[in-house]
Amino acid sequence: MYDVRSILKDIEFCFSLVGLLLNMFEFYLITYHTTATVKPYKPILYQNCVTDCIYIVAVLTTRIQADIRSKTLFYLVNIPFLKTESPQIVMMASIFWVFSLTFYVLAVPVQFVYRYIQVRRFDNVPKIVHALMLFISFSCSCFLSFHYYMVFRNSHQIETESIAILSADPAYLNGIGGMMSTKIEGFWFFVYHGLSICFTTLSSIVIGISSLRFWQYTRQNRVQITAATREAMKQMTIILTIQAAAPFVVCFVPIITFLIHALFLDNTSIVPLMIIPAISLFPIANAEGLQSFERL
């Protein structure tokens, strides 16, 4: 495991950089090459790119990694071009990463609800409605970020113990960098992860209900919907299906993996270190899906 951390950081950096480039190209496609039937959906296509880019910027600026050792959860921050990271900078950087990831996930249901409202109105969705839905997602992201702060606010109290735990692992012989740590049995630890699961569950419920209502309405009114509109809705459904996988993979799988690893497995697994690089694949998948949609 001597080079695992460096390899995973490089993989994550490459994934994120490719995702950023693809999303920048996607901005161009949406702006200049959107067909007439797709134009009503431009706001949520832009939204998808923006949430992707916010998360990618957070990854590139924090180079954050997660690990679990000896019943302790670690978030390791490696800010580029910054030789020394103060506890305040590490905390703010990790909070930004948590916020960007949460907003990335909670903004997905907005697109499904937007699609349903769009097809019901046969007209553009009011900007105020779209803004209100995004504000709710933004507020929930801030709320969860606050609980992340509560989990790690006393990180300095176990700093010496945490450094000793990581220093004993060959994977950290080249240095630890900025670090936040907490014991997994803490009250706020379970509150934070419980809220993460609750928000993800609510997002999934909203996605499921809006998708069901969308399907029922289009089925009942298929005669009134033109062939071009049906094709646009079909392709948009493909894109949203790809994005709907994000809440499950980004939240449920990592949280459950973290808890199982912490409570039942030994301390030698590299699974926790691999979770965040895996999440970094989603901006690429979203951008590729959107580009495929634009080509059709």
Note the pLDDT of residue 284.
61
Note the pLDDT of residue 257.
61
pLDDT tens per residue, range 107-116: 989 999 998 8
Q: Which amino acid type is present at position 33?
A: H
pLDDT tens per residue, range 39-57: 888 898 899 889 988 988 9
| Torsion on CA atoms 54, 146, 66, 202, rounded to nearest 10 | -70
- Give CA–CA dist 8/160, Å, rounded: 26
Q: Which amino acid type is present at position 92?
A: M
Note the pLDDT of residue 16.
80
Residue-number span of the structural domain to which 229 is assigned: 4-295
- Of the spans 132-136, 196-200, 222-226, which averages the highest pLDDT? 132-136
Total domains in the chain come to: 1
DSSP state of 180: E
pLDDT band at 77 (very low <50, low <70, confident <90, very high): confident
Tokens 């950089």 appear where? Answer: 17
Whether 164 has a pLDDT exceeding 60, the answer reads: yes
CA angle 11, 46, 126 (to 5 degrees): 150
CB atoms inside a 10 Å sphere around CB 193: 21
pLDDT tens per residue, range 250-260: 555 555 665 56
Listed residue (126, 98, 100) closest to 113, CA to CA:
126
pTM: 0.82
Whether 169 has a pLDDT exceeding 90, the answer reads: no
Q: What is the CATH number of the domain that holds 61?
A: 1.20.1070.10
More confident residue, 12 or 279: 12
pLDDT tens per residue, range 81-100: 666 678 888 899 999 999 99
Least confident of 117-126, 129-138, 254-263: 254-263
Q: Which amino acid type is present at position 215?
A: W
pLDDT band at 1 (very low <50, low <70, confident <90, very high): very low
